Amino acid sequence: MNIDTSVINSINGGGKTGMPASQSDELRESFMTLLITQLENQDPLNPMENAEMTSQLAQINTVSGIEQLNDTLNGITAQMNAGQTLQATGLIDKAVLVPGNTVKVHSDDESGVYATPFGIELDRPAENVQLTVTSQSGEVVYEKSLGAVRAGVESFSWNGTTTDGDPVADGSYKVSYRVTDAEGETLQSDALNYALVNGITPADENGSVKLDLGGVYGQVTLDQVKQIL
């Protein structure tokens, strides 16, 4: 007489986690009841072998171990989410570089022309990085060779003037890069733009904490923050 393996599969949740504790306890009790019944009604001439009993007991112990592991992992996940939320809270009102290619220019009588910082992310060192700034209409307003740039994240600033030195109009501009190595081969690069963290959104069901960067930039996750300015 063997215990119906469907009981074991039900306790295991078909390989899935997250079964309610009350349901799991009920199934475990049913398993033990079936095992005791089996022992009481086994054929005396053909008793259950020790190996068979050990195997079935091992299965119920495995279920208990999986549940304990799930509880531990849930606790670790909760701590990680709390840590991410705390880290994200520390970025409120901070300026960051995130993926994007926008530069905003603002001028006033006191400080003159101001352009927001921007940056680049490289997987490999570059021999030369050529910067181009264009208007919303696509007109090139500024070009400059930034020279060699190391791998990783680098930030730059622009004084808000054209290549000839004339102030540009207030508004949004786009930056782009042409990146080459020592052999003149083009390298992959990612443009980064300035944003101000206005607030945070608590972790969702996926454990992702998001930063609110305002209406223009929307929301980003912590791993999208490439540099804190």
Same domain, yes or no, for 52 and 136?
A: no
Q: State the pTM of this model.
A: 0.62
What pLDDT sits at residue 78? 59
What pLDDT sits at residue 135? 96
> Under a CB-based contact definition with an 8 Å cutoff, are residues 105 and 136 in contact?
no
Domain enclosing residue 84, as ranges: 5-89
Same domain, yes or no, for 9 and 25?
A: yes
Same domain, yes or no, for 77 and 102?
A: no
Same domain, yes or no, for 118 and 154?
A: yes
What pLDDT sits at residue 25? 66
Same domain, yes or no, for 81 and 104?
A: no
111-137 pLDDT, tens per residue? 788 999 999 999 999 999 999 999 999
Please count the structural domains in the chain. 2
Q: Among 46, 81, 24, which residue's Cα sits nearest to residue 210?
A: 81
What pLDDT sits at residue 77? 59
What pLDDT sits at residue 170? 95
DSSP secondary structure letter of residue 126:
B
Same domain, yes or no, for 58 and 164?
A: no
What phi and psi, each to the nearest 5 degrees, are found at residue 224?
-85, -10
Positions of the chain with pLDDT under 70:
1-28, 31, 35, 39, 42-61, 63-65, 67, 71, 73-84, 203-207
What phi and psi, each to the nearest 5 degrees, are found at residue 172?
-100, 140
